[in-house]
């Protein structure tokens, strides 16, 4: 079933009913010409439950033109008015929180409890907090007679992934709207629901036509058309480093400003004096959150060689408590991966671990008994992992943890910082200053010391191949602003 007003209202756990239409210029509209239908598949059982159209270059053109046409009036609104509308969006999303949680669980497999606790609340909070931060930001700076205006960068394209379908849309759209930009979103074809719900909420909240647009489709056709569109002023992409390179090349050809939030292979470094049990437990939790489908997952646990047997026993015991189960069950903590293709990819990495000399102590590549129809993977832990093995150097995006031994703190630092990626890390020591010194020496964008929680307003982004630019908080809004300096003639002495 499709509607002209967005996803349906039921919250009975049945398949969502997303409109097989784009949202362009303030209305739901059919694709241009004969569009290919992309299937939507429930990863828990492999059943097809719907489809979305592949947006053409003409559909992308329509959306970008609508956004560009709305830019002048939207960027001229006051920050107070933009903040008020962001709060209305947050209220609208909050009113359908349960419905969105169930939809996310159905479309990409996050356990329902985690969708309710993490996926949806993070997205809603982003809109509320962005409005609050905007209220404290100045749009001008006086340098003598010169006035520096902080203004919207322009029309923005957003390419978002499937692993956090609402939150990662929110981390781009909320700050872009706050800055006065207009937006075209191309969500993942695996999990388009977050963007579609947001469009429906925005429509009902009275967001002016053209300010927010959603074009459905795949990466090679729709995403590429958006990334290289000559009328975009900025592009924000979250995804793998491999795709990020292609996106940057398309945008670069059009001289479009780009923000890239790419992948990671984040280390958790246990120094010799660390409290072993809480450090291992927290690392396993971060490694397996969202079935390991998190860019900042702590997937490498670096352990002093003498403590490796104890750390391996602890990690194995923790991992066994992450029992795979139906994601619709509120008690499940480890759901399926987002697709069968992703399951196949993760299983291949697990097989490579054994082949390259690592020792498998928990899990493995086989299908989960009783859940064979779904894209489930056993929670998997390797120990004695060579630092150059594929499972220790490449982003797997599944519930796979590698324990890597080291002999000296300098060796630990070299291993932790020795990859091309540099997104996040964790350091553990009873000596807080020692841990802080090591953290400051790592070329990564975010480091947690002794399990300290990540502040949701802190800038987030990577070094090296993990991308450039920052999201979240004030830094997220600044990514979508630029400056104009107006130089005025200073008043003459004696003039009033």
H/E segment holding residue 405: strand 400-406
Pick the CATH number of 266-455 from 3.40.640.10, 1.10.8.50, 3.40.309.10, 2.40.33.10: 3.40.309.10
Phi, psi of 326 (to 5 degrees): -60, 130
295 is catalytic: yes
| Domain ranges, ordered by start, for the chain | 22-262+466-482, 266-455
Q: What phi, psi does 442 have (nearest 5°)?
A: -90, 140
Contact 176, 183 (CB under 8 A): yes
pLDDT score of 3: 41
> 59-73: buried (b, 16+ CB within 10 Å) or exposed (e) per residue?
bbbbbbbbbbebbee
* DSSP per-residue string spanning 245-288: HHHHHHHHHTT-EEEEE----EEEEE-TTS-HHHHHHHHHHHHH
Element (H, E) at 184: strand 182-186
pLDDT tens series, the chain, 496 aa? 234 456 655 445 678 889 899 999 999 999 987 778 999 999 999 999 999 999 999 999 999 999 999 999 999 999 999 999 999 999 999 999 999 999 999 999 999 999 999 999 999 999 999 999 999 999 999 999 999 999 999 999 999 999 999 999 999 999 999 999 999 999 999 999 999 999 999 999 999 999 999 999 999 999 999 999 999 999 999 999 999 999 999 999 999 999 999 999 999 999 999 999 999 999 999 999 999 999 999 999 999 999 999 999 999 999 999 999 999 998 899 999 999 999 999 999 999 999 999 999 999 999 999 999 999 999 999 999 999 999 999 999 999 999 999 999 999 999 999 999 999 999 999 999 999 999 999 999 999 999 999 999 999 999 999 999 999 999 999 999 999 999 999 887 765 5
Inter-axis angle of helices 193-205 and 167-179, nearest 10: 40
pLDDT at 330: 84
What pLDDT is attached to residue 496?
Answer: 52
What does CATH list as the number for 22-262+466-482?
3.40.605.10
pTM of the predicted protein model:
0.94
What gap in Å lies between CA 67 and CA 185, rounded to an integer?
11
Grouping H, G, I as helix, E, B as strand and the rest as coil, residue 397 is: coil
Beta strands 400-406 and 234-238: pairing type? Answer: unpaired
The pLDDT value given to residue 175 = 98
Instruction: List the catalytic residue out of 158, 181, 295, 318.
Output: 295
pLDDT of residue 15: 80
> Nearest CA to 31 among 52, 4, 6?
52
Residue 35 has a pLDDT of: 75
Give the pLDDT score at 495.
57
Contact 424/264 with Cβ under 8 angstroms?
yes
Q: How crowded is the C-beta side of 478, counted as CA atoms within 13 Å? A: 13
Closest CA to 181 of 152, 208, 203, 201: 152
Q: Which of 261, 465, 471, 479 is catalytic?
A: 261
């Amino acid at each position: 079933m499709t509607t002209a007003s967005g996803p349906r209202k039921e919250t009975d756990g049945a398949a969502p009913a997303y409109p097989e239409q784009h949202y362009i210029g303030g209305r739901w509209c059919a694709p241009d010409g004969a569009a290919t239908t992309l299937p939507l598949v429930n990863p828990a059982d492999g059943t097809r439950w719907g489809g979305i159209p592949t947006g053409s270059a003409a559909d992308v053109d329509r959306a970008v033109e609508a956004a560009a046409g709305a830019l002048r009036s939207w960027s001229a609104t006051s920050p107070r008015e933009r903040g008020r509308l962001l709060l209305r969006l947050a209220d609208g999303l909050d009113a359908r929180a349960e419905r969105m949680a169930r939809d996310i669980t159905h479309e990409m497999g996050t356990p329902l409890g985690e969708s309710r606790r993490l996926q949806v609340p993070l997205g809603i909070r982003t809109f509320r907090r962005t409005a609050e931060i905007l209220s404290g930001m100045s749009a001008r700076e006086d340098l003598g007679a010169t006035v520096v205006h902080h203004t919207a960068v322009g029309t923005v394209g957003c390419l978002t992934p499937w692993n956090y379908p609402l939150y990662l849309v929110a981390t781009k759209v909320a700050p872009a709207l706050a800055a006065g930009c207009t937006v075209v979103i191309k969500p993942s074809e695996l999990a388009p629901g977050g963007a579609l719900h947001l469009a429906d909420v925005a429509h009902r909240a009275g967001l002016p036509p053209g300010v927010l647009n959603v074009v459905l489709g795949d990466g090679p056709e729709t995403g590429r058309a958006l990334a290289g569109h000559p009328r975009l002023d900025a592009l924000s992409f979250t995804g793998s480093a491999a795709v990020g390179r292609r996106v940057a090349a398309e945008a670069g050809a059009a001289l479009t400003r780009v923000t890239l939030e790419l992948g990671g292979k984040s280390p958790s470094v246990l120094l010799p004096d660390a409290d072993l049990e809480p450090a291992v437990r927290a690392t396993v939790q971060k490694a397996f959150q969202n079935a390991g489908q998190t860019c900042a997952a702590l997937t490498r646990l670096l352990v002093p060689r003498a403590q490796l047997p104890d750390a391996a026993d602890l990690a194995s015991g923790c991992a066994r408590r992450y029992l795979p189960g139906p994601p619709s069950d509120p008690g499940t903590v480890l759901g399926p991966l987002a697709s069968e293709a992703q399951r196949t990819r993760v299983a291949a990495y697990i097989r490579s671990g054994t082949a390259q000399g690592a020792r498998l102590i928990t899990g493995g590549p086989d299908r989960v008994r009783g859940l064979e129809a779904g894209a489930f993977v056993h929670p998997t832990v390797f120990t004695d992992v060579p630092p150059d093995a594929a499972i220790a150097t490449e982003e797997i995006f599944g519930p796979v943890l590698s324990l890597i031994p080291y002999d000296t703190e300098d060796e630990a630092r070299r291993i932790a910082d020795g990859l091309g990626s540099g997104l996040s890390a964790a350091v553990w020591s009873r000596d807080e200053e020692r841990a802080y010194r090591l953290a400051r020496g790592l070329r990564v964008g975010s480091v947690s010391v002794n399990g300290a929680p990540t502040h949701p307003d802190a800038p987030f982004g990577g070094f090296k191949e993990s991308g450039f630019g920052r999201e979240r908080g004030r830094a997220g809004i600044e990514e979508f602003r630029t400056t104009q300096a107006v130089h005025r003639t200073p008043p003459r002495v004696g003039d009033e």
